[in-house]
Homo-oligomer: A and B are copies of this chain.
């Protein structure tokens, strides 16, 4: 790396990640730190303490997003921001989201070590509920920040036990006063593990994200009729679960068909009612997710899934309807940030590759209100959303240093 480039303290970053990895520990190597849980509160408290000790002002907004701000020499200017999330999946790893937050903290700590003041303020954000493992949709905090979800919608969402987001937020003491969307960003840069195998396999440690995979999500209701499993003849049944199963296998086949070009499709969620011995299922619900690097092919997959719904419904003599749908990842990335990241990487003399993001990220929503870019770092074997998720510090540091130097460059413009 060019000797004029700034460098973070890798050992300190690692210690910070390890400390975070103790809070909500699961199955030895992983984390279950669901949003607004006791573990989330504990992690938030420690993060706020760390941020204040690093000289930041800390504010919390009405959905619990945390904003830690390092003042600039012209503090009236919009900040250069970074951030990610501290909540995890049900059986998640220690780095998904967490690395981005702790890298942002390490940027601020390094600037303090070096006594460097920036013209614009630096702002580090922890977004509420990125994963959607307890409250849906995922990326609730960033979507609310940019106005894509209303405050009321977020606060009234319920978990599987019927506990309201607003009540749980108050319980853990993160029902902040700051109105949504108050922070203004000159640019937003998010560092994240890739969650895919490309960097790990190519041996290039730093990815600069150029676009997302267009992703469609559908919630599908299957309606049949219940009856006794014993005496009801096969030809008089309207078995909702059989309809759902035909659709699940068809969705999987659609993913395989688009696999050569990088397409994927998944049914990550099913519910079935009454779901009891002796009864033919009356209704089922599925969530279907499909993604493709070419937006028009993602739209074609949507048409194929709709046709598969009709075929599956006919096979099982049931009805199927789309009751909710969403789309994300449709090119929210900014040329301004891409150029700043690539110019900085070139100046630093680090190797990088342009890469596409296949997962959802808070950055996508922020792209609506500010120029946005992302840096990816490798995770072993591309594994994430799994307690086996792991990273190597050596392969991560170039990306973190790229974040540091790019933020400083942009903050001094």
Verify B268–A195 contact, CB threshold 8 A: no
Copies of this chain present: 2
- With A242-B249, A279-B89, A279-B90 known as contacts, the answer to whether A232 contacts B289 (CB < 8 A) is no
The residue among A228, A255, A266 with the most chain B CB atoms within 10 A of its own CB is A228
Residue among B90, B195, B245 making CB contact with A248, cutoff 8 Å: B245
Judged by a CB distance under 8 angstroms, whether A203 is at the interface is no
Verify B277–A138 contact, CB threshold 8 A: yes
Verify A278–B228 contact, CB threshold 8 A: no
Judged by a CB distance under 8 angstroms, whether A78 is at the interface is no
A154 CB to closest chain B CB (Å) equals 16
Verify B232–A277 contact, CB threshold 8 A: no
Q: How far is the CA of A241 from the CA of B247 in the complex (A)?
A: 12
Q: Choose, from A5-13, A56-64, A102-110, A378-386, the stretch at the interface.
A: A378-386
CB-CB < 8 A to A233: which residues of B? 197, 259, 262, 264
Contact flags (1/0) for A229-251 with B, using CB distance below 8 Å? Answer: 11111111001011011101100
Q: Is the interface on chain A under 10, 10 to 19, 20 to 34, or 35 or more residues?
A: 35 or more
Verify B272–A269 contact, CB threshold 8 A: yes
The residue among A229, A262, A271 with the most chain B CB atoms within 10 A of its own CB is A229
Verify B360–A278 contact, CB threshold 8 A: yes
- With A196-B231, A231-B196, A245-B245 known as contacts, the answer to whether A226 contacts B277 (CB < 8 A) is no
Verify B259–A268 contact, CB threshold 8 A: no
Residue among B230, B274, B385 making CB contact with A89, cutoff 8 Å: B274
Verify B359–A230 contact, CB threshold 8 A: yes
CB-CB < 8 A to A132: which residues of B? 276-278
Q: Choose, from A181-189, A280-288, A367-375, the stretch at the interface.
A: A280-288
Q: How far is the CA of A278 from the CA of B213 in the complex (A)?
A: 14
Judged by a CB distance under 8 angstroms, whether A131 is at the interface is yes
Q: How far is the CA of A259 from the CA of B91 in the complex (A)?
A: 42
CB-CB < 8 A to A316: which residues of B? 252
- With A230-B213, A230-B291, A232-B196 known as contacts, the answer to whether A252 contacts B277 (CB < 8 A) is no
Judged by a CB distance under 8 angstroms, whether A295 is at the interface is no
Residue of B nearest to A161 (CB): B161
Residue among B275, B289, B386 making CB contact with A229, cutoff 8 Å: B289
Residue among B90, B242, B274 making CB contact with A90, cutoff 8 Å: B274
CB-CB < 8 A to A197: which residues of B? 231, 233, 236
Residue among B89, B239, B271, B277 making CB contact with A278, cutoff 8 Å: B89
Verify B259–A234 contact, CB threshold 8 A: yes
- With A245-B248, A259-B235, A270-B241 known as contacts, the answer to whether A358 contacts B230 (CB < 8 A) is yes
Residue of B nearest to A259 (CB): B234
A362 CB to closest chain B CB (Å) equals 13
Verify A230–B196 contact, CB threshold 8 A: yes
CB-CB < 8 A to A37: which residues of B? none
Verify A217–B264 contact, CB threshold 8 A: no
Verify A226–B91 contact, CB threshold 8 A: yes
Residue among B229, B241, B242, B279 making CB contact with A264, cutoff 8 Å: B229
Judged by a CB distance under 8 angstroms, whether A215 is at the interface is yes
Verify B229–A266 contact, CB threshold 8 A: yes
Query: Can you report 26 A-B residue pairs in the complex whose CB atoms are below 8 A from each other?
Result: A89-B226, A91-B274, A132-B276, A194-B231, A197-B231, A226-B385, A227-B386, A229-B289, A231-B382, A232-B382, A234-B259, A235-B259, A236-B382, A239-B252, A241-B248, A242-B252, A244-B248, A245-B248, A249-B249, A266-B280, A268-B275, A268-B277, A268-B279, A268-B280, A270-B272, A277-B287
5 more CB-based (< 8 A) A-B contacts, given A131-B278, A231-B359, A231-B382:
A132-B278, A196-B232, A230-B357, A230-B358, A232-B264
10 A-B pairs with least C-beta separation = A196-B231, A245-B248, A230-B359, A230-B358, A231-B358, A90-B274, A229-B266, A245-B245, A234-B259, A228-B385
